[in-house]
Chain A
Amino acid sequence: MGLVASRGGKQKKGNVTSEQEEEEQPLQAVLVADSFNRRFFPISKDQPRALLPLGNVAMIDYTLEFLTSTGVQETFVFCCWMSNKIKDHLLKSKWCRPTSPNVVHIITSDLYRSLGDVLRDVDAKNLVRNDFILVYGDVVSNIDVSQALQEHRHRRKVDKNISVMTMVFKESSPGHKSRCEEDDVIVAMDSKSKRVLHYQKTQGLKKLQFPMNIFQHGSDEFEIRHDLLDCHISICSPQVAELFTDNFDYQTRNDFVRGILVNEEILGNQIHLYVTQDGYGARVSNLQMYDSVSSDMVRRWVYPLTPEANFTDQQGQGCTHSRHNVYRGAEVSLGHGSQMEENVLIGRDTSIGANCHISNSVIGNNCTIGDNVVLDRAHMWNNVHISSNVEIHQSVVCDGAVVKEAVRLNKQCVLAYNVVIGPNLSLPEGTVVSMHHPEEEEEDDDDEFLSDDQEVGHSKDKTRQKAFNPAEVGPEGKGYIWKASMNDTEDEELAQCLWGLVLNPDPESDSESEASEESQDRSRSVSPEIDDVNAFQLEVLGTLQRGLEENIVCDNLVLEINSLKYAYNITLKEVMQILTRVVLEYPFQQQGTQLTTLQYTGSLLPLLKTWSPVFKNYIKRAQDHLDCLSAVEELFLEQDTHQTAMVKVLMKMYQLEILEEEAILKWFSTGATNDKSRQLRKNQGLQKFIQWLKEAEDESSEEGE
């Protein structure tokens, strides 16, 4: 008997006949008991995900209990991978008893490869006649969706079937542990109509972009929500199945939602959302989620679906609940000095040795645990044998696994079915051990069909021949190590990562982006628009850079700079000043400002030689020389640590015949306008250079005579 009374049977009588008819029709649900991905590999090689135990109850039972309690009277369970196992399980369960208020139909096919296939089949078989609830077989929830259903029906009545789907979300702030990082979504909605305008997974995004057209629907209040947890429960109109048939490229619900939102204007279909504040709803989409949902279950967040409720109504499944959330099944024996600290669930016929310390863990049926064992956040399924002196932290140990003496499982280890580990071994963090050889799976990859749940048994003979590595699994160990990065064919690394993403993404990367954003911001705010001169300077720099990289002839550089000059409306004088500045700053630009004077001149002088034709093109008249010199002076006044380099620069320019000696002498004698430039001229090197120039001039004039 279900603990939660079925609400479906007692719907109030409508006064209008048509309404009555609509209400009287049994509420239907489509339960997809396949994940169509391999996130639970290698565990799901032996057992489909829907049957994995969570709090010692198969996950699909939670989903069915949720559907039944919310008033569903007819459920279609679609299975693909290991459909026989699921079928057997369901046939034995209370759902297939004649008294069940929820009639379960099991539909199996090996051809389903995605949610899309399932819904197309729903449409082909014409199974649904009215609004239905769509869930996966790994959803754990106690949300009462009747409210959402009512809203959905109301919208459909008012808006003539425009709304095709109502997605159910649970409010939970970012950082909440039952939020699945991969499923992290951002939703833009219309505050009043609760209509979804934009739906996007945020994973890997730093900036969230909302197109303008979503804000043009006449409403003046929108909400952008990041505090929503997708429960993967959707209330669908019958059109949903048709839409999947019409659009063969829709594979997942995500495809569907995006497609509907993008084509909203064409097709006129809308999606709404329902947010619950106090219900619980989560999909076990990876082991991280498994861990958090399991611990939420033990902590009674999914009330009334609690471990002691035995809602599956199975013989001998009952357990007692005592304080600190300690649950004990029947015939549990606990050795002397063992402690069950808090949030512990122990299945029936399990025996625990002496001086054990158990906290936040779930232990299945028929397990034996030795002495001095420490379990923290361990999830042990049925028939597990743990020897003495074992330590297990935040790991999953599947059915039939054996952990020998003095083994330590660090965080996020997985021991799949029937693995033997130890003795005397410490498994590093994130180790996955399975009886299946990883290469089995690799061979499998040729198949483009990427379901959790594919038959792989044909290569078993080959696997047998491969020996277990004692260094990896211990001297008596049995099993192969699975490495997370093994799968090269998959683009997304995380597809192989059982545990999913770490909950707290690197805050560094975030701040970095902020910092860069910041600098952009800054430059923007200080000069709202880059003026032409600056833009020109940047362009010249770019031109010269390209010139160096691609070995462009100086004549062509001159051509380019000339065209830039016209584009930005720059005077010839400015061109020269900017050119001089760009060239002289070039080493700083390329190698940073911390250059020593020696390094600076070392890299600058060859550049001057390379670009001297460019300079010569612009520096012709006497005034040009002076302008160029004043630009040089200006730069070295700014870079006062490198003033000693100035002589070398002037010398080089003189040697390259860019600058004439008269101009330099004239600049030296007359150009000083303020204290600083006077100070500059007192530089010893410069004075010597001038002296030398003067002498050279004298000499040459003498020679001339």
Chain B
Amino acid sequence: MELQAVLMAAGGGSRMMDLTYNTPKPLLPVGNKPLIWYPLNLLERVGFEEVIVITTKEVQKMISTDPKVKLDVKMKLDLVCIQEDADMGTADALRHIQQKVKTDVLVVSCDLITDAALHEVVDLFRAHNATLSMLMSKAHEFTETVPGQKGKKKTGEQRDFVGVDGTGKRLLFMANEADLDEGVVIRKSIMRKHPRMHIKTGLVDAHLYCLKKSVVDFLADNKSISSIRGELVPYLVRKQFSKSTNSPKVIDETHQNLKKNDSNISSRDEELLHLTQERSCWNDHRGDMSDAYHGGRLRCYVHIMDEGICYRVNTLAAYIEANRLAPKLFDEPAVHPSAVVSERCLIGADSIIGASCQISDKTSIKRSTIGVSTTVREKVKVTNSIIMHGVTIEEGCNIQGSVICSNAVIGRGADIKYCLVGSAQRIEPDGEHTTASPHLMSKACSA
């Protein structure tokens, strides 16, 4: 086993509270499958047989009991629960399972939906004997109108500055705009080693990392690091260029420990690899005559996807976009065989109808997702919307660009445009709702 897969599925989804109020983020339906299915499927496709899933008790319970979130995977899932209220970061979680980590790890976040060729990331990791390799993608513009948001999304968000070398693979610099009060500061020695640096700002981090086992051990020794993305990755990127005598001692020491541990495969290769690198005339750079990698022990790489789907479902906008694109990722019939669909209704090819749905006459469903056991009555129009599980839509409703959460009931003749309807809410008949604040709607009904 070369890599162990670790799936981080304990996040609360704090940036889309409206959706995660009732359903934990990993189990949000996307294309009628729980969100967590996508990274699991990604891992399964490339041949992983086992995966460590770090999650909360709540999610674990729902996975084992709720038939609607049945995970359709053959891999062996090793569920590890962490306390919800402990406020653990991803690095904390990784530290938590240190005992289970026997080799290098592949860490994936549960909100990743991608068709990326995973081997690209792993190949970088292998080819350069890297400490870290990660996946990034060009940021997507979300085109759909988001319920509750008027007008275009503000671009006030702070950008990440990612610096890669001339080949676009080696990660040289990483910082968030917020931390760059004094501007981008780069040491001249780095520029001398990598004279051409591309600084990219329009990238999203897919939160998919290959990490050396020694990094996990390093985490165990350094309790102050709590997040992989926020602290560990920038730390490793920075450490690449510090003198080997001084800093990566920590990492070095763990390397040493690895060597002592004979049972480890990668450690046995370590010495040989080092020797090969010394004897080989291969070099990773041009220009000066110094050793490959300039003698550095730590190396961070990034694979940047130019095209393809890569979404992190962590905002409402991303959730809607993912629902629109998800059907393209797997080839299953758009209409589930167990759904009862009247012949006299119109269902667009870009829509998905979940299991045991009931769709009545004269309805029209376009560019929408209808969840499991949902009932749609006569003369209903659903466009550009996401209907979760167990929703009942009475006659003559018109739903456009909205998200209807599980078990909601939409009264007869309601007209809903660009709204988010909370879980188990009842919408009064003949009401008209346009771009209402989703928060308000869920409060109004729970009250």
User: CB-CB < 8 A to B191: which residues of A?
Assistant: 174, 186, 202, 208, 224, 226
Indicate with 1 or 0, residue by residue over B140-166, a CB within 8 angstroms of chain A CB atoms: 000000000000000000010101000
Residue B238 at the A interface, CB < 8 A? Answer: yes
Q: Distance (Å) between the CB of A155 and the closest chain B CB?
A: 22
Q: Does B200 contact A227, Cβ atoms closer than 8 Å?
A: no
User: Roughly how many angstroms separate A517 CA and B241 CA in the complex, as a whole number?
Assistant: 11
Chain A nearest Cβ from B128, distance in angstroms: 20
Query: Which of chain B's residues have a CB closer than 8 A to the CB of A448?
Result: none
- Give the shortest distance, in Å, between B138 (CB) and chain A (any CB): 9
CB of A209 within 8 Å of the partner chain? yes
Asked if A226 meets B247 with Cβ closer than 8 Å, knowing A208-B187, A220-B201, the reply is no
With contact pairs A176-B287, A220-B201 given, residues A527 and B224 touching in the complex (Cβ less than 8 Å):
yes
Nearest CB to that of B241 among chain A residues? Answer: A514
Considering the chains assembled together, what is the distance between the CA atoms of A517 and B185 in angstroms?
12
| With contact pairs A515-B246, A525-B235 given, residues A174 and B192 touching in the complex (Cβ less than 8 Å) | yes
B-contact bits for A518-536, CB 8 A (1 contact / 0 none): 1101100111100000000
Q: Does B242 contact A (CB under 8 A)?
A: yes
Interface residues of B in 354-372 (CB under 8 A from A): none
Interface members, chain B 186-200 (any A CB < 8 Å) = 186-189, 191-192, 195-200
Judged by a CB distance under 8 angstroms, whether B85 is at the interface is no
Q: Does A568 interact with chain B (Cβ within 8 Å)?
A: no
Enumerate chain B residues within 8 angstroms of A206, measured Cβ to Cβ.
187-189
A138 to B196, CA, bound (A): 28
Task: Take A521-B238, A527-B224 as given contacts and tell me if A220 and B202 are in contact as well, using a CB distance cutoff of 8 Å.
Answer: yes
Are A518 and B192 within 8 A (Cβ)?
no
Docked-complex contact B197 and A205, CB < 8 angstroms: no
Cβ–Cβ contact A215 & B288, under 8 A: no
Q: Is the CB of A514 within 8 A of B200?
A: no
Convert A34-63 into 0s and 1s, putting 1 for each residue whose CB lies closer than 8 angstroms to a CB of B.
000000000000000000000000000000
- Please state if A191 and B198 are interface contacts (CB–CB under 8 Å): yes
Given contacts A173-B287, A223-B198, A227-B195, contact A212 B177 (CB under 8 A): yes
A203 to chain B, nearest CB (A): 10
Task: Assess whether A207 is interfacial by the CB under 8 Å rule.
Answer: yes
Question: Are A222 and B185 interface neighbours, CB within 8 A?
Answer: no
Find chain A residues with CB under 8 A from B196 CB.
223-227
Q: How large is the interface on A (under 10, 10 to 19, 20 to 34, 35 or more residues)?
A: 35 or more
Is the Cβ of B286 less than 8 Å from the Cβ of A202? no
- Cβ of A510 within 8 Å of any chain B Cβ, yes or no, is yes
The listed residue (A209, A220, A221, A514) touching B185 by CB distance below 8 A is A209
Cα of A510 to Cα of B195 in the assembled complex, Å:
16
**B189 adjacent to A215 (CB under 8 Å):** no
Per a CB cutoff under 8 Å, which of A226, A227, A517, A525 touches B224?
Answer: A525
The verdict on B183 contacting chain A, using a C-beta distance below 8 Å, is: yes
Q: Distance in Å from the Cβ of A274 to the closest Cβ of chain B? A: 16
Residues of A contacting B239 with CB < 8 Å?
521
Contact of A522 among B159, B161, B247 (CB under 8 A): B247
Cβ–Cβ contact B200 & A221, under 8 A: yes
Tell whether B127 is near chain A: CB-to-CB under 8 Å. no
Bound together, the chains give a CA A522 to CA B235 distance in angstroms of 10
The 8 Å CB contact of A518, one of B161, B242, B288, is B242
The CA-CA distance from A206 to B191 in the complex, in Å, is 10
Given A175, A209, A212, A511, which contacts B288 in the complex, CB threshold below 8 Å? Answer: A175
Say whether, besides A173-B287, A221-B200, A527-B224, A209 and B187 are in contact (CB < 8 Å).
Answer: no
Name which residue of chain B comes closest to A213, CB basis: B183
A211 within 8 A of B: yes
Q: In this assembly, does B72 line the interface, its C-beta being within 8 Å of a C-beta of chain A?
A: no
Residues of A within 8 A of B192 (CB): 174-175, 226
B243: interface (CB < 8 Å): yes
Main secondary structure of the interface of A (DSSP, over half): mixed
With A174-B288, A186-B191, A528-B224 as given contacts, are A224 and B247 in contact (CB-CB < 8 Å)? no
Contact of A227 among B161, B201, B287 (CB under 8 A): B287
Assuming A174-B195, A221-B202, A526-B224, is B187 touching A515 (CB within 8 A)? no
A515-B177 Cα distance, complex, nearest whole Å: 26
- Chain B residues with CB below 8 A from A221, complex form: 198-202
A513 CB contact (under 8 Å) in B182, B187, B199, B225: B187
B189 touching A510, Cβ below 8 Å: yes
Residue A210 is within 8 A (CB to CB) of chain B in the complex: yes
Q: A residues within 8 A CB of B287? A: 173-176, 227
Minimum C-beta distance from B17 to chain A (A): 27
Select which of B181, B198, B224, B288 is within 8 A of A222 by beta carbon.
B198
Does B275 touch A at the CB level, under 8 Å? no
Please provide the chain A residues from 195 to 241 with a CB less than 8 Å away from any CB of chain B in the complex: 202, 205-212, 215, 220-227
Residues of chain A contacted by B264 (CB below 8 angstroms): none
Q: Which residues of B contact A208 (CB under 8 A)?
A: 185-188, 191
Is B180 close to A, CB under 8 A?
Answer: yes
**What residues of chain A lie closer than 8 Å to B195, measured between beta carbons?**
173-174, 225-227
Which B residues touch A186, using CB under 8 A? Answer: 188, 191
Closest to B247 in A: A518
Q: A519 to chain B: which residues have CB within 8 Å?
A: 246
> Across the interface, do A518 and B185 meet the contact criterion of CB distance under 8 Å?
no
Q: Please indicate the chain B residues that have their CB under 8 angstroms from the CB of A513 in the complex.
A: 187, 189
- A186 CA / B199 CA spacing, docked (Å): 14
Instruction: Scan B309-335; emit 1 where CB is below 8 A from any A CB, else 0.
Output: 000000000000000000000000000
Contact call B288/A224, Cβ cutoff below 8 A: no
- Residues of A with C-beta under 8 A to B177: 212
| Least Cβ–Cβ distance between B248 and chain A, in angstroms | 10
Within 8 A of A (CB), among B169-187: 177, 180-187
Give per-residue flags for A161-189: 1 if the beta carbon is below 8 A from chain B beta carbons, else 0. 00000000000011110000000001010
- Given known contacts A220-B200, A221-B202, A225-B195, A205 and B188 CB-to-CB distance under 8 angstroms: yes
Contacting pair B243 A514 (CB below 8 A): yes
What CA separation (Å) do A215 and B202 show in the bound complex?
Answer: 12
Q: Is the CB of B186 within 8 A of A207?
A: yes
Instruction: Contact check, A209 vs B183: say whether CB atoms are below 8 A apart.
Output: yes
B83 within 8 A of partner (CB): no
Measured CA separation A515–B244 after assembly (Å): 10
Interface residues, chain B, CB within 8 Å of chain A? 159, 161, 163, 177, 180-189, 191-192, 195-202, 222, 224-225, 231, 235, 238-239, 241-243, 246-247, 286-289
Residues on A close to B: CB < 8 A?
Answer: 173-176, 186, 188, 191, 202, 205-212, 215, 220-227, 510-511, 513-515, 517-519, 521-522, 525-528
A-B contacts, 5 listed (Cβ < 8 Å): A208-B187, A211-B183, A222-B198, A225-B196, A528-B224
User: Given contacts A221-B200, A222-B201, A514-B246, could you give 17 more A-B pairs where the C-beta distance is less than 8 Å?
Assistant: A174-B288, A175-B289, A186-B188, A207-B185, A208-B188, A209-B183, A212-B183, A215-B161, A222-B199, A224-B196, A226-B197, A227-B287, A513-B187, A518-B246, A518-B247, A525-B231, A526-B224
